[in-house]
A and B are shown apart, each in its own frame.
Chain A
Amino acid sequence: DAMVIQNPRYQVTQFGKPVTLSCSQTLNHNVMYWYQQKSSQAPKLLFHYYDKDFNNEADTPDNFQSRRPNTSFCFLDIRSPGLGDAAMYLCATSRDPVQPQHFGDGTRLSIL
């Protein structure tokens, strides 16, 4: 029944070691989003894809990249994670930019 699936649920990586988080959807939605949520804070949009069009938020660090190889999958790559990148990363989808966004369960990233 899961419609937006994030793997893994928990990810531990070393300081500076590249890490990839994955998101897949069975909703056939056109838009996929990545949010970062630090402890006790609201989610913050990093970037999103509208179909194949990539939209980066102005204050998203260059350390964060994304790929969307097809409609169903979207990846978040963190090239050189720092301690400040420890957070919950939430993937969301929507049919189009004005429709409600549906979130996955999130991946909680820890940096050693």
Chain B
Amino acid sequence: AQKITQTQPGMFVQEKEAVTLDCTYDTSDPSYGLFWYKQPSSGEMIFLIYQGSYDQQNATEGRYSLNFQKARKSANLVISASQLGDSAMYFCAIRNYGGSQGNLIFGKGTKLSVKP
């Protein structure tokens, strides 16, 4: 069975500083994808970044980067130069390519608060 663990229920960061949100995962499937989503208080889920298990390089999307350490089964999200609009819930998720189609397993999330 797949599992995502996000150990930080809440995080604070000063505006313009970088922050790392932790995510560890467990899966028996050698082929999988890791995703990060942002959920503001308004409720919509916004896709941020994706990392495939066979990707050689860490994924980057603008201010977002994924620190993928396969041996440690971790996929931490790094947000550089935090902005007030980054305040939101952040969910890490995994999907096994060999398993049930479409079954995206989410972690419990980390609430990030950016201080001015």
Contact = CB atoms under 8 A, between A and B. Distances in A.
Interface-centre pick from A94, A97, A102, A105 (highest chain B CB count, 10 A): A97
A41 B39 CA distance: 12
A104 B44 contact: yes
Interface stretch (A14-22, A42-50, A62-70, A73-81): A42-50
Contacts of B46: 103
Given A106-B43, A106-B44, A43 B106 contact: yes
Interface size class of A (residues with CB under 8 A): 20 to 34
A103 B45 contact: yes
B43 A42 contact: no
A83 B2 CA distance: 30
A42 B47 contact: no
Contact of B100 (A41, A55, A92): A55
Contacts of A23: none
B109 A42 contact: yes
B102 A55 contact: yes
Interface string B80-105: 00000000000100010100111110
B21 to A, nearest CB: 14
Contacts of A33: 102, 104
> Could you say which of B33, B45, B97, B106 has the most chain A C-beta atoms within 10 Å of its C-beta?
B45
13 contacts: A42-B107, A43-B106, A48-B101, A48-B102, A50-B102, A57-B103, A97-B95, A97-B102, A98-B97, A101-B104, A103-B46, A104-B44, A105-B43
Interface of A: 31, 33, 41-45, 48, 50, 55, 57, 88, 90, 92, 94, 97-98, 100-106, 108
Shortest Cβ-Cβ A-B pairs, 3 listed? A103-B45, A42-B106, A97-B101
